Structure 1
Amino acid sequence: MIDYAAAAAVAPYKVSELRAFVEMCMQDQSILYTKEMCFLREWVESMGSKIAPAAPKSKLEENTKEGKTGGKKLEENIKTEEPSEQSDLEIDNEGVIEPDTDAPQEMGDENVEITEEMMDQANDKNVAVINALNDGELQKAIDMFTYAIKLNPRLAILYAKRASVFIKLQKPNASIRD
């Protein structure tokens, strides 16, 4: 019998591992179609969610997994594989943001001893950031968030808010890093 009260108090590291696993599944849903994960897929579907069907494997992938990677056979498979129907489609990139190539932003030292004064300064900087955002000074807001993060690198909301400003600046990679 499962003690649901005890299950609700899951260790933080397990929640962190679960979050990482869910993110991995969001990037590659084929994970849910493995033998080991069929129970999870069935549970998610029983809750009313729909999971995209598993992508069909190409002949090349199947042969590689089966160990048939002989030089000539591999070349023949590549040559004889028919072009997919998707190659005829043109992708509409309207509204797609190009990835930014900026250097990674500063994150702050997680091991630093945070004092009350540092927390207060970070909170004060948060108020100044709101004023900068209201004035439309996005780069100034980024700089202030970075300063506040250096003061209190354990305050997750600062990273999230800075990420939202990076989105406004159309810098998706910087936002993802936060």
Structure 2
Amino acid sequence: MSCPVNKDALDKLKQFIQICKSNSSILHLPELQFFKDFIESLGGVVPEEPKMPSDIKVEPEVVGEEPPEEAQADSETESVLEFDMTGCVEPDKLDDNQKMGDPLKEITEEASDQADEKRMEAMSQLSEGNIERAIELFTEAIELNPNSALLFSKRGQAYLKLTKPNACIRDCTRALELNCDSAAAYKFRGRAYRLLGEWELAAKDLRQACNIDCDEQTDEWLKEVTPNAKRIEEHMIKKERKLKDKQEKERMEHIRKAREAHAKAATANKEDGDQPEASPEGDANSFFKLLQDPEIMTAFQDPEVAAAFQDISMNPANFVKYQSNPKIMNLVTKLSGKFAGSGMNIPGFSGAGAGAGFPGFPGFGGAGAGAGAPKPPPTDDDNLD
């Protein structure tokens, strides 16, 4: 008995069985219910369909909810643009047969004429479709006159017809080095870039060709690449804007942190540098305690000393009258040392020496033998007990 199924169908059946073996869960698909029934009718058992674990939560898809604007912008700027590459070709490899001539060669009139003849012959071959032969003739002409932009642009056109965009780009680039206003070189190089999918470069060259000498074909090629070129340009603008925004945010954050650090440092310096100011009451109490010193009290018992200090307290300028009096100056020196050692802030007392004075010097309200005796500081006791 011969098999009623042809070999191709059997091969496909084998592939299907192999798929079922590797993943039996597909037998639970509604489309394969007939096959599952067939297996079970023969006594076979189809494994149960695996269930999703209960601890896995499936988040429902929210329809119509857009991602945050910032995340959406990041996705747009960082995504890779995709284009319809229809009409693009694989890059061709450059070879040594594309001779560029000697750029330092001195061109004689005879060589120039021969190059023109070769060019005319090459143009004829190109129009007849003999592209390979045309390229050979253009190459011979270039070797005769390697400084002709026209020869390079025409050979570039021939390479373009052979779908060799890199060879075309090389020739047209050389043509533009020789003549930056060659519309033909911009035109053919722009088309070559288009074949390689270099949309921005293609649009740039074709626009320049139209600016110099626009023809119908150049305009048509430019319209073809413009949409993709604009997409790239807009993408780059967004990317650049995003980068600037990021840099600005980083700059502002840096400024904010610097200000915070400066404020913290200023606060710390203030805390370290702050010293409790002596109160006037404290200074007065300390001053009166200082005057309780037996040596100082004895000195002020001297009528001459008491009178001198009374005179100085009334008019500090009178201090100069007593600079030659050893008794007065010795006491001034002692008082200066004790003031400096106590850390007191006695207004108007600047110490001993020339020019020192006692403006507002406290404690000398009267002259005479007892006038200089210091009065005790007031107490907090109001005698109310």
Tell me which of the two structures has the higher relative contact order, counting C-alpha pairs closer than 8 angstroms and 6 or more residues apart.
1
Name the TM-score, length of structure 1 as normaliser. 0.49
Normalising by structure 2, we get a TM-score of 0.24
Larger Rg: 2
